[in-house]
């Protein structure tokens, strides 16, 4: 079998950032998959499932309600390795195209107060596995250490 694109990225040198993981073409439509890397793989602790789950709920809610991006959002969810998230958007996009969107997203998570959207038994298959305080801490860390000072190196396309 061929090695998939995400397994060809050298995770020994990968740092937090916003990267284009791949672009898939379906006739006239391009879906861009972004790697939102929140922690340094194999060097920093991975995200726990509870804060990852909370970021997923808040992130999906934010993106699917965003006035400019809601109709272009295909998917937002965690990486299996728990070092970040995948964001799939309609369009032939670069990492630079979404810095402001991702910054808005993580400010939203950092500042979120109240009940986590979709975190009731009838709405979620594991509704108790949530941690809003840690999700907010992770969002603040990603903002301060990565997004608010992002440079070219942390925006390189991986495809």
Q: How far is CA 159 from CA 11, 43, 49, 86, 119, in A?
A: 14, 23, 28, 14, 35
pLDDT at 125 over 70: yes
Give pLDDT tens digits for 80-109: 999 999 999 999 999 999 999 999 999 999
Q: Are 56 and 132 in contact (CB under 8 A)?
A: no
Is position 5 within any domain?
no
pLDDT at 159 over 70: no
pLDDT at 158 over 70: no
Assigned token pair, 20: 């284009």
Is position 59 within any domain?
yes
Over residues 150-154, the mean pLDDT reads 94
Is position 2 within any domain?
no
pTM of the complete model: 0.94
Is position 103 within any domain?
yes
Q: Which of 60-69, 109-118, 149-158 has the lowest mean pLDDT?
A: 149-158
**β-bridge mates for residue 76, sequence order:** 87
Give pLDDT tens digits for 23-34: 999 999 999 999
CATH of the domain at 47: 3.30.1360.80
Structural domains of the chain, count? 1
**β-bridge mates for residue 87, sequence order:** 34, 76
**pLDDT value at residue 12:** 83
Is position 3 within any domain?
no
Domain that holds residue 119: 11-155
**pLDDT value at residue 6:** 76
Is position 143 within any domain?
yes
**pLDDT value at residue 2:** 87
**pLDDT value at residue 138:** 98
Give pLDDT tens digits for 34-88: 999 999 999 999 999 999 999 999 999 999 999 999 999 999 999 999 999 999 9
């Amino acid at each position: 079998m061929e090695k998939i694109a995400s397994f060809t990225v050298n995770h020994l040198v990968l740092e937090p950032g916003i990267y284009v993981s791949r672009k898939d073409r379906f006739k006239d439509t391009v879906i861009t998959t972004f790697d939102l890397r929140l922690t340094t793989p194999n060097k920093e602790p991975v995200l726990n499932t509870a804060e990852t789950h909370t970021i997923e709920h808040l992130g999906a809610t934010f993106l699917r309600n965003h006035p400019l991006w809601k109709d272009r959002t295909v998917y937002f969810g965690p990486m299996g390795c728990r070092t970040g998230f995948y964001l799939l958007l309609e369009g032939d996009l670069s990492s630079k195209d979404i810095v402001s969107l991702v910054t808005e997203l993580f400010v939203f998570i950092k500042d979120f107060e109240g009940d986590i959207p979709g975190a009731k038994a009838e709405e979620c298959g594991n509704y108790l596995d949530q941690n809003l305080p840690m999700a907010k801490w992770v969002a603040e860390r990603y903002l301060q250490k990565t997004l608010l000072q992002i440079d070219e190196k942390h925006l390189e396309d991986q495809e």
